[in-house]
Structure 1
Amino acid sequence: MNIDTALKEAMSISGAVGVALVDYESGMSLGTAGGGDWLNLEIAAAGNTEVVRSKLRVMSALTLNDSIEDILITLHRQYHMIRLLDAVKSRTSLFLYLVLEREVANLALARHYLKRIEADLQV
């Protein structure tokens, strides 16, 4: 599936408010959907790039021979999910960033759907 289709699929997840496909080397979004006045996805993408880079540095410092599947930030009213695309399979430095309305979202299902989207995404 292409980027636009992947973003539309992510926005169909129950509780989805916004989604972005982001390159964590540059901090730039390759595409966004949703968002709005209170959720600037471009700013969020750049900021979450720093979260990913920081976690990768910590893993390197600890010499962990592992990879990140996803990072979850839990707010009082929202979930912010960062799903790193499998770098071995896709040879990319990309992640999907999804914001969910906590009262509506099912976190387990959202993680499952993002994993499926990742598997089908062609960049």
Structure 2
Amino acid sequence: MAMTPKELLNQLMQTEGAMCAALVDYNSGMLLESVGSGMDLELAAAGNTEVVRAKMKTMKSLGMQGTIEDILITLTHQYHIIRPVEKHDGLFIYYVLDRSRANLAMARRKVLEAESQTAI
């Protein structure tokens, strides 16, 4: 059964250590939906849009084939996962976890599973 964006994000928040999650349009940098707290998600959406654009531009410049599956940013106290939505070009999921409580492998799997069930 397909999930709405809000349902997808709420499902991600059930993961141990989850702090916040968002659905972002990387063409505009706009935050489309968000849940959780701990940071300014509108600012994070705009900033991480630049991360996705930079990686896509670099891949194109290098003549690399394929697509981005996910981008992992490891900070001292947090994990940040950026995952483009495969079925909807131009959108990505942004997911922030508390590093001391989260299981990174499980979080990445949750994002993959949730993303595959999303109807936007």
Picking from 78, 100, 113, the partner of 2:110 is 113
State the TM-score, normalized to the length of structure 1. 0.93
Point out where structure 2 has 5 or more consecutive residues left out of the alignment.
none
Point out where structure 1 has 5 or more consecutive residues left out of the alignment.
none
Letter in 1 for 2:103: N
Deviation at 1:51, TM superposition (A): 0.1
Letter in 2 for 1:20: A
Give the SS at the match of 2:19: strand
Distance between the aligned counterparts of 2:21 and 2:102, measured in 1? 14
Matches within 5 A, 1:83-102: 83-86=83-86, 90-102=87-99
Picking from 8, 11, 30, the partner of 1:9 is 11
Give the SS at the match of 1:81: strand
Distance between the aligned counterparts of 1:101 and 1:28, measured in 2? 24
Report Cα offsets for 1:28-80 as digits up to 9, x if no partner.
011000024xx001100100000000000000000101110000000010001
Deviation at 1:85, TM superposition (A): 1.0
Matches within 5 A, 1:9-88: 9-36=11-38, 39-86=39-86
Distance between the aligned counterparts of 2:74 and 2:43, measured in 1? 18
Report Cα offsets for 1:10-41 as digits up to 9, x if no partner.
111111101000010010011000024xx001
Distance between the aligned counterparts of 2:119 and 2:52, measured in 1? 21
Distance between the aligned counterparts of 1:51 and 1:31, measured in 2? 19
Aligned residues, how many? 118
Deviation at 1:92, TM superposition (A): 2.1
Percent identity, please. 48
Please identify which structure carries the higher helix content.
1
State the TM-score, normalized to the length of structure 2. 0.96
Runs of 4+ in 1 over 3 A off after TM superposition: none
RMSD: 0.8
